[in-house]
Amino acid sequence: MDVTEVPGGQSDSGKKWMKRTPKKKKGGHGEKRGADRKVEEEEDEKKMETSEGVFPPNFSVSEIKNKQRRHLMFMKIKQEKRKVKLQVKKKKKKEREALGDKAPPKEVPKTIENQRVYDETTVDPEDEEVAFDEGTDEFSAYFNGLTNPKVLITTSDRPRGRTVRFCEQLATVVPNAHVYYRRGLALKRVIPQCVARNFTYLMVVNEDRKMPNGLVLCHLPDGPTAHFKVSSVRLRKEIKRRGKDPTEHSPEVILNNFSTRLGHSIGRLFAALFPQDPQFIGRQAATFHNQRDFIFFRFHRYIFKNEKKVGIQELGPRFTLKLRSLQKGTFDSKFGEYEWVLKRHEMDACRRKFQL
């Protein structure tokens, strides 16, 4: 506090008056705290550097009780591991360039897919039994060219706007598909009407909390019926850098990784949705990609830029399916005979074993 003398009158002679002049603040408490923290962090880093040799060889970072020091130590160890990994990678690359054609083949990284547990029901394309089953199953008439697909798409009772838009966009993907309002009818009454009108498929989109969450796919007139869980639905407006709306040309169908007998049946179920003669002038492709029993659907348009490069553009919609059950015959929830049912606790116990 500064003291200044103020001259007084006759009665105030000999008195000194105190006048308070506020000091200018050099820095707030926040700046002091920030500076203190930086100093503490620098000191901690120096301590970590000096104390590396003090720790025993079996020391774990989780034993450090101070959270800040534990985080700094963890980040430092992580950074050192990254540096070592990059050095090894550069060294291997130089060795391969020096050896040229004599270089050893690259190591294949271990993934859940290539470490998959062998399934006895894996389909061999040259198996006579599989060929006989394909010639006599419910889809044989379609693959022999005797029937053309005709699909009816409907929803659960009182659908919301998002589910209705999803059905409308599905109708633009699947050729010769028709969207009808459910009107509260039971599926057992809908199926005979579909058969009478020569429909080959009944597709029912279920919803929960205004979001599509289920799909029932019933092949007519003899089945089978598959029930899927639907997730990760993205409509056309929600897809970034999407192309223009699809044309009416029949798309090409791509089925990936359906290797078991069950997966083979599901793949044929999807293939029978589309006509067998795709119109290549439309340059459209519908993909059903199976990975770890999740079926990812994508719809693209492609263009050949030159002899080696191809450009693709997603048209939408996109969604993910997870098989819940496969039922013989048409839909019958009470007395139907189920060929396969998902049992999560038994079938999902091993991460490297897949059903499709």
pLDDT in tens, 44-55: 656 555 444 456
In the predicted model, is pLDDT for residue 6 greater than 60?
no
Question: Backbone phi, then psi, for 34, in 5-degree steps?
Answer: -60, -40
CB atoms within 10 A of CB 201: 20
- Amino acid (one-letter) located at 15: K
Q: What number is the average pLDDT over the span 32-60?
A: 61
Give per-residue pLDDT as tens, 150-164. Answer: 999 999 988 989 999
Closest to 299 measured CA to CA, from 317, 311, 283, 281: 317
Give per-residue pLDDT as tens, 173-224. Answer: 999 999 998 888 889 899 999 999 999 999 999 999 989 999 999 999 988 9
In angstroms, rounded to a whole number, what is the distance separating the alpha carbons of residues 72 and 81?
A: 14
Give per-residue pLDDT as tens, 220-234. Answer: 998 899 999 999 999
pLDDT at position 14: 46
**Predicted TM-score (pTM) of this structure:** 0.73
- Does residue 269 contact residue 219 with C-beta atoms inside 8 Å? yes
pLDDT at position 254: 96
Lowest-confidence segment of 58-62, 147-151, 155-159 by average pLDDT: 58-62
- Does residue 227 contact residue 299 with C-beta atoms inside 8 Å? no
The tokens describing 344, both together, are 């999560």
pLDDT at position 30: 54
Give per-residue pLDDT as tens, 241-273. Answer: 888 999 999 999 999 999 999 999 999 999 999
Give per-residue pLDDT as tens, 90-146. Answer: 998 898 888 888 888 888 888 888 888 888 888 887 788 888 888 889 999 999 989
- Mean pLDDT score across all residues of the chain: 85
pLDDT at position 135: 87
Q: What number is the average pLDDT over the span 329-350?
A: 86
Question: Backbone phi, then psi, for 341, in 5-degree steps?
Answer: -135, 135
